[in-house]
Amino acid sequence: MKSITQQKVARIFGSEMADLIEQHATPMTVPAEETIMLPDAYVKVLPLVLDGSIRIYRVDEEGKEVFLYYVEALQTCAMSVLASLGGDKSKVKAVTETEVKLLAIPGDLVERWMEEQISFRRFILHTCGQKFDDLFRAIDNLAFKKLDERLLEYIREACRNGGTNFVSMTHQELANEMNTSREVVSRLLKQMERQGVVRMARSRISLLERV
């Protein structure tokens, strides 16, 4: 009988491609809040996430981070795909949101499988389409939404990804995510608490609306 992992992979790719991935990919379990990719590093493996989620950031020269999108179960990272295909260095930072179980596919196989395996090519194109939609949404948030709207949307998304109604983060950590100051985030959270949208405790923000 096939393992749960094999069944998950086979549902996406079909049994033949799933067998190829099993032969060549390395299973990994990565703890939460672990940095697994940095800008300017060569992408040696393509992560196929089985469980958990990964946050993808753009980092500027001063070290400021802008959140771009999540990579969730049965997805991969579009920016890693592009780097693997072009033999380029990473342009993003990746940090695990939760404990993540993944299959690390050797980067040098990505181009070959894109050419030879139609199910793999379809998966990559579909995933890239999803992630570029997420990227456009992030750009829209930065360009058109006020900070309080962006903050609430971030909390909602983090709760959805964690399968909970709370976020375990300090005000400073949220400020880093929003690329603003801790004082501004604290003021906005207090405003949301007065409105009955969130409830605050030490290093924990509970969302009072249905996720």
Q: What would the pLDDT profile of 114-173 be if each residue is shown by its tens digit?
A: 999 999 999 999 999 999 998 888 888 777 788 899 899 889 988 988 788 999 989 988
Q: 4-143 has which fold?
A: Jelly Rolls (2.60.120)
Closest CA to 21 of 90, 126, 122, 117: 117
SS (H, E, C) 15-33: HHHHHHHHHHCEEEEECCC
Structure confidence by residue, pLDDT tens digits, 38-94: 999 999 999 999 999 999 999 888 888 888 999 999 999 999 999 988 888 999 999
What pLDDT score does 180 carry? 85
> Do 4-143 and 146-207 fold alike per CATH?
no
Indicate the CATH number of 146-207 among 1.10.1740.10, 3.90.1720.10, 3.40.50.300, 1.10.10.10: 1.10.10.10
Kindly list the domain boundaries of the chain, sorted by start residue. 4-143, 146-207
In what order do the strands lie in the sheet containing 45-51?
26-30, 100-106, 45-51
